[in-house]
Structure 1
Amino acid sequence: MTACCLIVAGRFLLPQPGAGDIPGSTERQLSFLRAALDDGADTAAQQQFPEGHLFSNALYGLAWVQAAHAEPGLRPQAVRESRWALARLESEEGRAVFSPKLQPAHGIFWAGWTNWLRGAILSLDSSDSAQVQRFSEHSQEIAQAFAASDTPFLQAYRGQAWPVDSTVAIASLRLHDKLFGARHSAVIERWSEQARTRLDPATGLLPHQVSAVDGSTASGSRATSQTVIHRFLPDIDPEFAASQYSLYRDQFLTYPAGFGPALREYPHGVDGNGDVDSGPLIAGISLSATVVAQGAARVNGDDALARALAAEGELLGLPIDLPGSKRYAFGLFPIGDAFVAWSSTARPLVAEPPSATYDLRWWWRLPWLTVLALTALAPWTGQITAATRGVVRRGTRAAKG
Structure 2
Amino acid sequence: MGSSAGPVGRVRGLRRPVAIVVGIVVALVVAVLVPNWWLGREADAWYRGDAGRVRGLAEEMVAFEASDDRQRDSGAGGEVAGMWGLLAHQMTAIGLAQVVLAHPEWRGEFAGVATKAARKSLLPGMRSEFTAAWHGEDGEAAVGGPHGHAYMSYPALALGMARLVDPAFPADLAARQDAMVAAYERQLLASPTALLETLPGEAYPTDIAAVAAAIAVHGRATGQDHSAVLAHWAQQVRAVQIDRGTGLLVQRMGVDGWAHDATRASGTGLGAYFAGFADRSVARELAAGLFRQERNLFGFSAIHEYGGGSSGAGDIDSGPVILGISVSATAFALAPARAFGEHDVFTRVFRTADLLGMPLRSGNRVRFGTGGVIGNALLLAFLTSGPELAR
Give the TM-score normalised by the residue count of structure 1. Answer: 0.75
Structure 2 residue corresponding to 1:180, chosen from 219, 222, 225? 222
- Tell me the residue number matched to 2:213: 171
Q: Structure 1 residue 149 and structure 2 residue 181: aligned? A: no
Indicate if the aligned counterparts of 2:340 and 2:386 stay in contact, CA closer than 8 A.
Answer: no
User: Who is 1:123 aligned against?
Assistant: 164
Alignment of 1:2-401 (within 5 A): 11-14=38-41, 16-17=44-45, 21-22=49-50, 24-36=52-64, 38=67, 46=81, 51-99=83-131, 100=138, 102-104=142-144, 107-128=148-169, 130=171, 131-199=173-241, 200=243, 202-212=245-255, 214-250=256-292, 252-255=293-296, 258=298, 260-267=300-307, 269-328=309-368, 330=369, 333-348=372-387, 350-352=389-391
Aligned 8 A contact 1:126 1:132 in 2: no
Residues 249-296 of structure 1 show CA distances to partners (whole Å, capped at 9, x for unaligned) of 22x1112x5553211111264332111222222221112211121012
Note the C-alpha offset of 1:133: 3.9
Assess, with a 3 A threshold, how the Cα gap between structure 1 residues 268 and 155 changes in structure 2: closer, same or farther: closer
1:316 to 1:268, Cα distance in 2 relative to 1, 3 A: farther
For residue 98 of structure 1, report the CA deviation from its aligned partner.
3.1
The structural deviation recorded for 1:344 is 1.0
- 1:254 is paired with a residue whose SS is strand
CA distance in 1, matches of 2:387, 2:342: 13
Cα gap change, 1:13/1:176 in structure 2, threshold over 3 Å: closer, same or farther?
closer
Tell me the matched-pair count.
345
Alignment partner of 1:295: what SS? helix
1:326-350: per-residue Cα shift (whole Å, max 9, x none)?
A: 222x356321222222111112454
Structure 1, residues 287-332: CA drift from partner, whole Å, max 9, x if none? 221112101211223232223323333333222222143222x356
Deviation at 1:219, TM superposition (A): 1.2
Cα distance, 1:135 vs structure 2: 3.2
CA drift of 1:23 comes to 5.6
CA-CA distance at 1:35 after TM superposition: 4.1
Runs of 4+ with >3 A deviation: 4-11, 17-20, 30-37, 39-46, 101-110, 126-129, 131-135
Instruction: Please tell me the residue identity of whatever aligns with 1:228.
Output: L
Deviation (angstroms), 1:167 = 0.6
Which has the higher mean CA deviation after the structures are superposed, 105-114 or 282-291?
105-114
Q: Quick one: distance in 1 between partners of 2:251 and 2:305?
A: 11
Secondary structure at 1:160's aligned position in 2? coil
Change (3 A) 1:323 1:9: farther
Do the aligned residues in 1 keep the contact of 2:216 with 2:230 (CA within 8 Å)?
yes
Per-residue deviation, residues 20-71 of structure 1 (Å, max 9, x unmatched): 625622333333344445357996755xxx6211111111111111111122
Distance 1:117 1:335, change over 3 A: same
RMSD: 3.2
Cα 1:259/1:17, change in 2 over 3 Å = closer
Give the share of equivalent positions with the same residue, in percent. Answer: 24
Asked if the contact 1:11–1:314 (Cα under 8 Å) also holds between the matched residues in 2, the reply is: no
Partners of 1:165 and 1:240 in 2: how far apart? Answer: 15
For 1:180 and 1:299, how far apart are their aligned partners in 2?
24
Change (3 A) 1:28 1:5: farther
Secondary structure of residue in 2 paired with 1:243: helix
Of Structure 1 and Structure 2, the greater helix share is in 2
Taking structure 1 as reference, are residues 259 and 307 closer, same or farther at Cα in structure 2, changes over 3 Å only? Answer: closer
Residue 296 of structure 1 aligns to a residue whose secondary structure is helix
